[in-house]
């Protein structure tokens, strides 16, 4: 299992090189599938999605697929994921993404696919890997509005592979409230392990080993 869990995608050479190393072959010899599902629950301008999609596309893949998880037969979705060497899951509303996986019966198939593929998460795509993606953590982190947006009060972690919660965009200019004071308030309430990472940082998971790849700043609350 190889996971590269980023805050804002492949924003620097260190993160891109980490993916290349995990993949074990040139990007031009590999297929990638880009999953924008989480963004579908976000209102407003989606220029950030286009920018990230272009950044990833321009790495020069053999095949660049785009796959929405809703509205297609589950077997067709899984076949498209299994065709890829890299599964890249983008940002947006992580609760919508989680519910799209569980509600469409995709969790077991995706987990099986991850046994021999590289998974790259961006923000929401990284957050859904936590065992602690629950209504309790939503309350602790101040994310209940994102959950209630869906008309929901509960959430089931679809891919509970990480025994920590990842909170992205620390010190990001796009999220100016996410400073150290904000992180301190959350850690004072959290009763689960928690990483805060900035937009130049990722968690790298290889089998059972977790480390941090970064050109920026990050914090860990055990």
Architecture of domain 2-221: 3-Layer(aba) Sandwich (3.40)
Q: What is the pLDDT of residues 24-34, one digit of tens each?
A: 999 999 999 99
CA distance 149 to 121: 22
pTM above 0.85, yes or no: yes
Q: What is the pLDDT of residues 94-127, one digit of tens each?
A: 999 999 999 999 999 999 999 999 999 999 999 9
Please check the confidence at residue 71 and state whether its pLDDT lies above 90. Answer: yes
Cβ contacts of 206 within 8 Å, gap of 6 or more: 1, 2, 3, 22
Nearest to 118 by CA among 208, 8, 6, 23: 23
pLDDT at 106: 98
Please check the confidence at residue 153 and state whether its pLDDT lies above 90. Answer: no
- Residue ranges covered by each domain of the chain: 2-221
Task: Give me the mean pLDDT over the 5-21 stretch.
Answer: 98
Nearest to 157 by CA among 197, 208, 97, 213: 97
Beta bridge pairs of residue 43: none
pLDDT at 146: 87
Q: What is the pLDDT of residues 184-213, one digit of tens each?
A: 999 999 999 999 999 999 999 998 899 999
């Amino acid at each position: 299992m190889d996971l590269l869990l980023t805050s804002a995608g492949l924003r620097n050479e260190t993160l891109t090189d980490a993916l290349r190393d995990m993949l074990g072959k040139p990007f031009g010899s590999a297929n990638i599938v880009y999953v924008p599902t989480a963004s579908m629950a976000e209102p407003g301008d989606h220029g950030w999605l286009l920018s990230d999609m272009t950044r990833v596309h321009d790495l020069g893949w053999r095949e660049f697929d785009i796959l929405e998880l809703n509205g297609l037969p589950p077997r067709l979705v899984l076949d498209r994921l299994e065709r890829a060497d890299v599964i890249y899951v983008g940002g947006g509303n992580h609760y919508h993404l989680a519910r799209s996986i569980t509600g469409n019966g995709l969790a077991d198939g995706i987990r099986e696919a991850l046994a021999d593929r590289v998974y790259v998460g961006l923000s929401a795509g990284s957050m859904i890997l936590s065992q602690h993606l629950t209504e309790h953590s939503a309350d602790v982190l101040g994310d209940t509005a994102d959950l209630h947006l869906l008309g929901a009060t509960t959430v089931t972690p679809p891919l509970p592979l990480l025994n920590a919660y990842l909170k992205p965009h620390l010190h990001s200019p796009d999220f100016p409230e996410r400073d150290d004071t904000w992180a301190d308030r959350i850690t004072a309430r959290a009763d689960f392990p928690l990483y805060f990472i900035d937009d130049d940082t990722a968690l790298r998971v290889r089998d059972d080993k977790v480390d941090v790849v970064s050109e920026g700043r990050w914090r860990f609350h055990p």
